[in-house]
Amino acid sequence: MTTILLLHTASTLAMTGLIWFVQVVHYPLFFYAANGDFQRFADQHQRRTGWVVGPLMVVEAATASLLLLSPLAGTTAWIGWLVLVSIWLSTALVQVPLHRRLSVGFDARTARRLVTTNWWRTVAWTVRALIALQLLHITRLA
Task: List pLDDT tens digits, range 26-65.
Answer: 999 888 887 778 888 888 888 899 999 999 999 999 999 9
Q: Is 71 helix (H, G, I), strand (E, B) or coil?
A: coil
User: What pTM does this model have?
Assistant: 0.89
Per-residue model confidence (pLDDT) at position 45:
87
Half-sphere exposure of 32 (CA within 13 A, CB side): 5
| Distance (Å) of CA 64 to CA 9, 21, 69, 73, 77 | 9, 23, 9, 10, 7
